[in-house]
Amino acid sequence: MLFRHVILYCHEKIKTERTINSIFHLLTGRRSVQTVQDSHLYQLQNFYGIYKHLEKATYEQVIADLRMSEYIAVESEEENTYTLTKKGKDFLRQVEPTIPFHYFSGAAFARQDEAFYNRLLLMIQVISNRLVDNKTYIPVIDNHVTAQWVKVEYTNVRENIHPYKDQLYFELKSLLSKMPQLLAEIFVDQLTAYKAYGLSVSQLTAKYKLTKESIHLLNTAIIHYMMQEITFKKSNYTVLSRYIPQVEQEKQLTNSADITHTYVKQGMSIEEIAEQRNLKLNTIQDHIVEIAYHDPYFAIDSFVTKEMENDIKQAIHRAKSSKLKDIKQFTAEEVNYFEIKLVMSTLHRMRAGE
């Protein structure tokens, strides 16, 4: 139910301005300018990357089920766009989601949530077994990077393991007490300790009578809620704040766009950057649009004249659409899609500031 609710909610925001696959790319956190731009344009940043391992076949089956249930209907077969039916809209209004959607914080944590969760699961297992001097157990997380982090962390706190364990317990209890009971129980059910094994996804689906997709989304919501609380109230979570990969958190741009950003700050033109990096002009333009969405101080006046910017703003207002081709119809002939995207990024930043 939750998975369907998320898809329909995202679809209502995007409407018919993007293909149905755009929601798939959003949920899986596709690192493309279009997907990042869509997350901002339609105010869906919370959902970005909340289901990174979602399989396309699973997604397509859910879309087929929604269509069969008459929650959505085909708008254009050629453009692969759908519209939300009255039944679908009624479902969104009448059926509350299992959790508030603000629990998700995909744009902020999609690249750190797995690392945070894996560190936490493995550390709990390690501590519980070391306290009873048990060294023969199979690690619940089979990941070298996670294992190395836990090894270093445990070594650092080994001499004070009892107060560390008590503080970790206190912080987790504090977080779980603020969540709906369902989320708290699902989280605890997955913990592995000495002679106590966490439930698998299939076991959780059987216990709570939910789909595996909903279990995954609920788990993501748990992790994101924890990370939000820890980040904004760091002094209250002195142990758990160490589990969030801080360096990765600061990085927002894709690696390639980050390199382009360096050249832009050096005053190089798009053509010069493309030649320097041996990339297509369109690729560099995509990088600049990505930069414009993430850098609140980025000025577009090197790429768009003030007159052209005003023309595009008027076109956006007249088009009443976020589709580039719809907006283009109301602009001067010389205006291109790159310039429209840049102006749209500034409008987004204005709305975000408000």
- CATH second-level architecture of 2-97? Orthogonal Bundle (1.10)
Per-residue DSSP letter, 332: -
As given in the structure block, the two tokens for residue 79 are: 């453009």
- SS3 category, 111: coil
Residue 321's pLDDT band, with cuts at 50, 70 and 90, is confident
Alpha carbon separation from 196 to 10, 123, 216 (Å, rounded): 39, 14, 22
Residue 249's pLDDT band, with cuts at 50, 70 and 90, is very low
- SS3 category, 84: strand
Does the global pTM surpass 0.85?
no
Angle at 319 between CA 11 and CA 302, to 5 degrees: 100
| Whether residue 75 has pLDDT greater than 80 | yes
Q: How far apart are CA 32 and CA 343, in angstroms?
A: 18
Q: How far apart are CA 107 and CA 63, in angstroms?
A: 24
- CATH second-level architecture of 255-353? Orthogonal Bundle (1.10)
User: Given 3-state DSSP classes, what are the helix, strand and coil percentages for the chain, each rounded to the nearest 5?
Assistant: 65, 5, 30
In this predicted structure, what is the pLDDT of residue 250?
44
Count of CB atoms within 10 A of residue 159's CB? Answer: 8
Count of CB atoms within 10 A of residue 317's CB? Answer: 11
Domain residues of the chain, as ranges?
A: 2-97, 113-250, 255-353
Residue 72 sits at φ, ψ, to 5 deg, of -135, 155
As given in the structure block, the two tokens for residue 111 are: 């690249």
Residue 346's pLDDT band, with cuts at 50, 70 and 90, is confident
More confident residue, 120 or 290: 120
- SS3 category, 73: strand
Q: How far apart are CA 349 and CA 345, in angstroms?
A: 6
In this predicted structure, what is the pLDDT of residue 252?
66
Helices 113-130 and 144-157 sit at what angle, rounded to 10 degrees? 50
Per-residue DSSP letter, 95: S
307: nearest Cα among 334, 288, 327: 334
Residue 189 sits at φ, ψ, to 5 deg, of -60, -20
Q: How far apart are CA 159 and CA 220, in angstroms?
A: 33
What average pLDDT does the segment 116-142 reach?
95
pLDDT digits (tens, 9 = 90+) for 157-193: 999 999 999 999 999 999 999 999 999 999 999 999 9
CB 98 within 8 A of CB 2: yes
In this predicted structure, what is the pLDDT of residue 145?
95
58: nearest Cα among 16, 7, 95, 105: 7
